[in-house]
Amino acid sequence: MNNIDFFTKLSPFLVNYKLNRWFGYGNIHPMTLTYSVTAACQSRCKTCGIGHMYMERPERANDDLTVDEVEKIFKSMKPVYFFNLSGGEPFLRNDLPRIVELACEYLKPCVIHTPTNAIMTERIEACTREVLEIVKRYDPSVPFTVKPSIDGVGDMHDEIRGVKGNFARLLQTIERLKRVEREYENFHLELGTVISNFNIDYLDDIEDFVHSLGVESYRNEVAEQRAEFFNLGDPITPDAATYRRLIKNFAAKIESNIKNKKNLAKTTEALRLVYYDIAGKILERKTQVIPCYAGVSNVHINYDGGVWPCCVLGYDKQMGNLRDYGYDFQKLWRSDTAMEVRRFIKKKNCACPLANQAYSNILLHAPSLFKAVCKMIKFKL
């Protein structure tokens, strides 16, 4: 996928969102769908309470949407550009490939992505291969990205993630997925770190270690207090001054390691450089620094059918539950409750550095998009 294709396919979405923001939200559909496929998770992270909640209430996983329910929902939706799988731990669902197949059939995504805690090495590799074969049947040009989490090197990773031996499994998973990457041109392996007060003094070590593994794509996101994570009030987020200092180092390392990366990695890294700067300003000013299109450009479907504008507002600003709407996404999406949530966000009643939403906001903000395009051009030269 080159940059021309990227912007050509996204342009109709972007124009539609701008017009609807000015004249009301009468005819919109999201370009990014994030679907938390399960409430189950084996991790007990210091920055997230999903795994702890699952340990206390394992019956929550019984509320996961069934494949039949997922098909009804996807069938009622229009095509999206980005399809993000989430959790819990996505690979705990044995029918994950079938969910991706339904997405390919009804949503026709141009990019498919999933994170993982990397604990179940064998299942992750087998499921990844199965997904890639499914994608190949529908559109072999669609990239599928898997992002294992790395929050420290060695014992630190296990301590933060709350599972002894997780780091060893992570290394095994990376090696297996690097093998898959060599076999499938449309598969992309990347690693991601949640920047928290537990690892801020060791980020250079983590990033140097990632590059030593030969992994092209690496992203950092700020630890956030979210209703979704059951961690409201936890002192996990670095202060703005600390984060601003850190992003200077991130930017310098991206610039120094960009030359030999593939086109997709260069495009995403350009967007990330702009994102890091915006995230720092949000933490510093505690307000939206560019307009937020959560609930317009992006939507999050929770494991139980709840529909959110984003995972930060989550349960607090749920637009409705698809089970209550007969699995008709369009009906819920155009409901009075959904419109009320959009007005809440437009009035800047919330502000966060959520990366998933920030990338969409950058594409819809001309000055930020211009900065990203300039960096893309620079990286190509």
Quick: pLDDT tens for 78-117.
999 999 999 899 999 999 999 999 999 999 999 999 999 9
State the Cα–Cα distance between residues 226 and 147, nearest whole angstrom. Answer: 21
**Extended beta strands in 209-261, E state:** 217-222
Per residue in 218-237, pLDDT tens? 888 888 877 778 877 888 98
Mean pLDDT in residue range 296-315? 94
Kindly report the number of other CB atoms within 10 A of residue 124's CB atom: 25
Q: Would you say the C-alpha torsion 160, 165, 170, 173 has a positive or negative sign?
A: negative
**In the 8-state DSSP scheme, what is residue 108?**
-
Do β-strands 306-308 and 298-301 pair in parallel, antiparallel, or remain unpaired? antiparallel
pLDDT at site 4? 54
Please tell me whether residue 192 adopts helix, strand or coil conformation: strand
pTM of the model: 0.90
What mean pLDDT is reported for the chain? 89
Using an 8 Å Cβ cutoff, are 203 and 195 in contact?
yes
Per residue in 27-58, pLDDT tens? 788 999 999 999 999 999 999 988 888 777 77
Please tell me whether residue 361 adopts helix, strand or coil conformation: helix
State the Cα–Cα distance between residues 220 and 40, nearest whole angstrom. Answer: 24
Location of structure tokens 């959110």? 308
261 pLDDT higher than 70: no
Mean pLDDT in residue range 303-322? 94
